[in-house]
Amino acid sequence: MGNRYYAYAFTAIMLALSLASIPIKGHVRLGVDFSGGAMIQVKFNKTVDIDHIRKGLEPLSENLAVQKLVGSEEFIIRMEMPEEGADKLSQRAQELLDKEFGKGNSEIRSVEIVGPKVGKDLQTSAIWATIIALGMLLVYMAFRFTFTMGLGAVFCLVHDIIIVYGFFVWTGKEFNLTIVAAMLTIIGYDLNDTIVVCDRVRENLKIMKKAPLIDIFNISINQTLSRTLLTSFGTLISVLAFLLLGTSVLQDFAWALLIGIIFGTYSSIFVASPVVLELDRVLPVKRG
């Protein structure tokens, strides 16, 4: 905690950079799930490459997201809102696939078009899901520990979400329901780290009733530091495997987790605890 002022400066810089991405780069690039668009499910009779599919269907849209279904040669293809209806889109896509892979080697299973209203509804639902999750976490932390610790934990989680959001804006990566799932995963993961520290703080508050709060936080963080770092390192190995070996859809998911885990580990040590320490001046942490 003696280095918390350096952490304050670093945290402020990272938050400023993340928030500055909006006026500089614009809002995050929304995927089909939120902006509306078309989704085509195709089955092939032979092994094909994702880049090959993307090249063959390029006349339909420049921004194609191709995802392979596990254990089969079926693919989900997402694209921007087409001008034609579902029937004409299906016919046009089949013609392009026949031209690229040969007639009879592909079959379009389904075509779904998500309108802008549906995309807007999904966007609203995703925002409310995140807000409700944070609100319930605040209630849980206040009940389990103290209201002050709950505020520290929620600020820690909001910090991580802003960082991940800023990363997606700066890099121009697509933000879709998969990334929302990653952000909710990050919330749960980061909360777990914060709870471990808060639980040890609560135990030490009972034992060290007369010790300064800053010393209690230092001892508690050091007692849980090896566990926090080992858990984060172990998780990062799995995430790196997705990042290096996964498809484009999994890679975006892995990027969100990678940034979330790195900054989540940092914030559970250098954001949550210092916030509680500063709030103790106006909302004293209950001892004993």
Write out pLDDT tens, residues 62-111: 777 787 776 678 888 887 766 666 678 888 888 888 888 888 888 888 88
Instruction: Please choose, from the candidates 215, 122, 196, the residue with its C-alpha nearest in 3D space to the C-alpha of residue 156.
Output: 196
Q: Does 227 share its domain with 138?
A: yes
Least confident of 18-27, 136-145, 148-157: 136-145
Last residue of a domain, one of 114, 145, 166: 114
Q: Please, where are the H alpha helices in the chain?
A: 4-25, 32-35, 50-56, 86-101, 116-144, 147-171, 177-207, 213-245, 248-270, 272-279
Identify the bridge partners of residue 111 per DSSP, sorted by sequence position: 40
Say yes or no: 15 and 149 in one domain: yes
Same domain, 213 and 102: no
Per-residue pLDDT for 192 more than 90? Answer: no
- Total tally of structural domains belonging to the chain: 2
* Tens digit of each residue's pLDDT (9 = 90 or more) over 248-261: 667 888 888 999 88
151 Cα distance to chain centroid: 21
Query: Average pLDDT of 180-203?
Result: 83
Query: Which two structure tokens, joined as six digits, stand for 90?
Result: 């299906």
Same-domain status, 142 and 66: no
pLDDT digits (tens, 9 = 90+) for 163-179: 988 998 898 887 877 88
pLDDT at 20: 92
Q: What letter would DSSP give residue 83? A: S
Q: Based on the fold, state whether residues 174 and 54 are members of the same structural domain.
A: no
Instruction: For residues 157 and 217, state if they share a domain.
Output: yes
Indicate the range of 24-33, 44-53, 204-213, 215-224 predicted with least confidence.
24-33
Give whole-number Cα distances, 211 to 145, 203, 246, 273, in Å: 19, 13, 50, 16
pLDDT of 229: 86
Read off the pLDDT of each residue in 6-14 and give the average, rounded to a whole number.
92
The domain containing residue 147 runs over which residues? 4-30+118-279
Tell me what percent of the residues of the chain surpass a pLDDT of 70: 92
Residue 33 has pLDDT above 80, yes or no: no
